[in-house]
C-alpha cells in the first residue's frame, strides 16, 4: 500500500517538512531505513541516524532542532512514538482485513455470527456460541459451548476458548493461549490421595484487552476469573482461578499469579514476577522483574526482591550484600585482634 507524505501526515495529525509527494510502502527502523520506507525518531539516543538515513519519510517531534540538512521528508508531530504506533495499527488493519467462513471450518447450527467476520480453516465453534461483528478468527481455533466474543476481536491460530468464556470488544488473543482451563486445586482424602477440586466458574475478559501467545487463564472455581478493560498481558503468563486483574494493568512475560489474588488498576508487573494467592495488590503498584510477592501491597508501591519489599530499601540492602565478603573479612580481623 503506497502512501504519500501528505496522506501520512493526515493520519497522524502532523505537518510535512519537505516533499509532500514522497511515497512509502513499508515501515522501517531509523537505523536501517531505505528508499520508500517510513521510520520515526522518538528517542534522542538515535538522533545520529537521522542524518544518515535513506528512508523516504521520518516522523519526528515538533521540538527537534536540526543541526544540518537531512535527506528524508520529515513529518513533525507532538509525539513521534505515539504517531508511529498509530501508523503501525493502520498498516496492521490492512493486513487483517480478511472476511468469510472457510469451507473446512465447523460452526454449529445454533451459533450466532455477526457481520463481516472471518472464520479460518479447521476452526470450530460449538453450541450456543455468540460471535460479534468484524471478528477475525484464524485457523485451528477451538471455541467451546456458550462462549461470547464481542465486536472487533482478533483471535490468532491455535487459541482454545473453554466453555462459558466471555470476551468483550476490541480484544486480541495470540496463538497458543488457553482461556478457561481448570484451576489447579486439590484436596487430600483420608488416605492422602489428591482429590480434584471441580471448577464450575468461567473467565470474563472485558474490552480492549490483549493477551500474548502461550498464556493460560484458568476459570474460577465459582464465579469468574476477570481481566478488566485495557489489561495487556505478554507471552507465557499464568493467571490462576478467581484472580481479578484491574483496569489497564500491564503484565510482562513469565509472570505467575496464584489463585484468588486481586490486582488493582494501572499496575506494572515485570517479567518473571511470582505473586502468591489470596492477596490484595493496590492500584498503580510497580513490581520489578523476578520479584516474589508474598503479602498484600498498598497503592502506589514500588517493590523488588524475594520476598518483595520497597524498591529503594532493596537497592540499599543490595549494596551491603555485595560488600558482605569484605565486611566479613573486616569482622574476622577484628575478632582475631580481640582474641590476641
Answer left, alpha or beta for residue 13, where phi above 0 means left and psi between -120 and 50 means alpha: left
- Asked about 241 being catalytic, the answer comes back as yes
CA neighbor of 215 nearest in space, from 196, 195, 243:
243
Return the axis-axis angle of helices 5-12 and 80-95, rounded to nearest 10°. 110
CA distances from 340 to 310, 326, 331, 333, 337 (A): 42, 21, 14, 11, 5
Q: How far is CA 66 from the centre of its chain?
A: 35
- Burial profile 286-310: b = 16 or more Cβ within 10 angstroms, e = fewer: bbbeebbbeeebeeebbbbbeebbe
Query: 257 and 276 in contact (C-beta within 8 Å)?
Result: no
CA neighbor of 119 nearest in space, from 97, 96, 143, 135:
135
Q: Which of 90, 140, 241, 320 is catalytic?
A: 241
Query: Which residues are the active-site residues?
Result: 241
Amino acid at each position: 500500500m503506497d502512501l504519500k507524505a501528505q496522506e501520512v501526515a493526515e493520519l497522524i495529525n502532523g505537518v510535512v517538512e519537505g516533499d509532500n509527494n514522497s511515497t512509502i510502502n513499508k515501515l522501517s527502523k531509523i537505523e536501517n531505513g531505505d528508499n520508500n520506507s517510513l521510520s520515526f525518531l522518538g528517542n534522542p539516543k538515535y538522533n545520529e541516524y537521522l542524518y544518515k538515513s535513506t528512508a523516504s519519510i521520518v516522523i519526528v517531534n515538533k521540538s527537534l532542532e536540526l543541526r544540518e540538512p537531512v535527506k528524508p521528508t520529515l513529518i513533525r508531530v507532538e509525539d513521534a512514538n505515539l504517531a508511529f504506533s498509530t501508523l503501525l495499527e493502520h498498516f496492521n488493519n490492512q493486513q487483517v482485513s480478511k472476511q468469510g467462513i472457510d469451507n473446512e471450518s465447523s460452526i454449529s447450527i445454533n451459533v450466532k455470527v455477526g457481520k463481516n467476520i472471518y472464520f479460518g480453516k479447521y476452526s470450530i465453534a460449538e453450541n450456543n456460541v455468540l460471535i460479534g461483528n468484524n471478528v477475525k478468527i484464524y485457523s485451528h481455533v477451538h471455541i467451546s459451548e456458550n462462549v461470547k466474543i464481542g465486536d472487533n476481536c482478533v483471535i490468532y491460530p491455535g487459541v482454545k476458548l473453554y466453555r462459558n468464556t466471555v470476551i468483550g470488544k476490541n480484544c486480541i488473543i495470540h496463538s497458543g493461549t488457553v482461556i478457561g482451563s481448570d484451576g489447579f486445586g486439590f484436596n487430600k482424602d483420608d488416605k492422602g490421595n489428591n482429590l480434584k477440586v471441580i471448577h464450575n466458574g468461567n473467565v470474563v475478559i472485558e474490552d480492549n484487552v490483549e493477551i500474548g501467545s502461550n498464556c493460560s487463564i484458568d476459570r474460577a472455581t465459582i464465579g469468574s476469573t476477570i481481566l478488566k478493560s485495557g489489561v495487556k498481558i505478554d507471552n507465557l503468563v499464568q493467571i490462576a482461578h478467581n484472580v481479578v486483574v484491574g483496569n489497564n494493568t500491564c503484565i510482562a512475560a513469565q509472570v505467575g499469579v496464584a489463585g484468588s489474588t486481586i490486582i488493582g488498576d494501572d499496575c506494572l508487573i515485570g517479567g518473571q514476577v511470582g505473586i502468591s494467592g489470596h492477596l490484595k495488590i493496590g492500584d498503580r503498584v510497580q513490581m520489578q522483574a523476578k520479584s516474589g510477592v508474598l503479602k498484600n501491597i498498598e497503592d502506589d508501591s514500588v517493590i523488588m526482591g524475594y520476598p518483595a519489599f520497597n524498591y529503594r530499601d532493596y537497592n540499599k540492602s543490595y549494596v551491603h550484600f555485595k560488600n558482605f565478603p569484605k565486611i566479613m573479612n573486616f569482622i574476622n580481623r577484628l575478632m582475631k585482634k580481640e582474641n590476641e
